[in-house]
Amino acid sequence: MKAHISAVAHYVPPDVFDNNWFASFLDTSDQWIRERTGIIERRFLRKGATSDMIVPAARAVLEQRGLSPAEIDCIIVCTVTPDQFFPSTAANVQRKLGASNAWGFDLNAACSGFVYGLWVAAKLVEAGGARNVLLCGADKMSSIINFEDRATCVLFGDGAGVVLLEPTDDDSVGVLDAIIRMDGEGGRYLYMPAGGSLRPPSLETVANKEHYVHQDGQTVFKAAVVGMADVSAAIMERNGLQPDDVAWLVPHQANLRIIDATRRRMGLPEEKVAINIDRYGNTTAATIPICLSELYRDGKLRRGDNLILASFGAGYTWGSLWLRWSLQGTPE
């Protein structure tokens, strides 16, 4: 038995902020941001929490699949911007949806959250530990970025993507393989310094702006280019997949140059790469499920298509997952 994605939807906030908006109060420019990252605009959620972006996407998933909230068995929320430390955002989603029979938890693997979560959820379903899993990748990055730090604040956006994982008797489709990695030595290059048990919040941590994303961009860039490309090439090789066999690379959207390096290592043409970084920036755990949702909505996925999902993020965490698409047509 395999686990397959039986529905997918996303939510992005309505409020759009383009590069020129940043240039109006920071020493930056539309040209710099476009050329170095590929980002043109992003969405920020003005009011509400991460769960408030998940809930509309989750409702759309249930509608697509014709299920009621009470039929959800397990909710996993991949995020680095939970509504609060605890209870989990999964618990908040459960309450807001009225998913009265669901258990669940949050998973923190930063930008690799969705790839990690998809592997965990697929294995849970395959093993019979859950009848279905509502897997959510969502982040409200605007809540943890320092709008005075031009090197990080222009990179991120807010959004949510949700999929439903269910068992299928057809072993040729669904989540087929993954190569997942972690290297804690990378922790010091992309992190939030304070707020946890190591450095609890204090007047000092607030004054020092330690509750925001801190990133050594160049170091992370170099690691990401190598890491994401390595696992993506390795998963193709391990499964005997040639470039012609792959319908889509669905990569984490942190930087167009990182995506391009991965694509080239895989031997794929540009048309086979899912891109939305230009419109949403880096939405952390939401980038990949938003891409999947848009591809499906736009009729670009066919049953039997081989997809390679790939990510790199804080931890470091990174990974690549081979998924064979199982749905026919577009969402109702």
Nearer to ligand UT7 (CB atom), residue 145 or residue 258: 258
Nearer to ligand UT7 (CB atom), residue 289 or residue 313: 313
Q: Choose the catalytic residue: 4, 153, 252, 276.
A: 252
d(CA 249, CA 241): 13
CB of 37 to ligand UT7, least distance (A): 5
d(CA 295, CA 281): 17
Nearer to ligand UT7 (CB atom), residue 114 or residue 312: 312
Torsion of CA 91, 92, 98, 103, to 10 degrees: -10
Cis bond leading into 316, ω under 30°? yes
Ramachandran region, residue 98 (left: φ > 0; alpha: ψ -120 to 50; beta: rest): left
d(CA 305, CA 74): 27
Q: Choose the catalytic residue: 74, 111, 153, 291.
A: 111
Q: Does 111 participate in catalysis according to the annotation?
A: yes
CB of 26 to ligand UT7, least distance (A): 7
Q: Does 282 participate in catalysis according to the annotation?
A: yes
Q: Choose the catalytic residue: 10, 19, 282, 291.
A: 282
CB of 291 to ligand UT7, least distance (A): 14
d(CA 303, CA 296): 11
Under the rule (CB under 6 A), what is the footprint of ligand UT7?
28, 32-33, 36-37, 111, 150-151, 154-155, 190, 217-218, 220-221, 224, 254-255, 258, 282, 312-313
CB of 275 to ligand UT7, least distance (A): 15
d(CA 73, CA 101): 6
d(CA 286, CA 284): 5
Nearer to ligand UT7 (CB atom), residue 173 or residue 180: 180
Catalytic residue numbers read 111, 252, 282
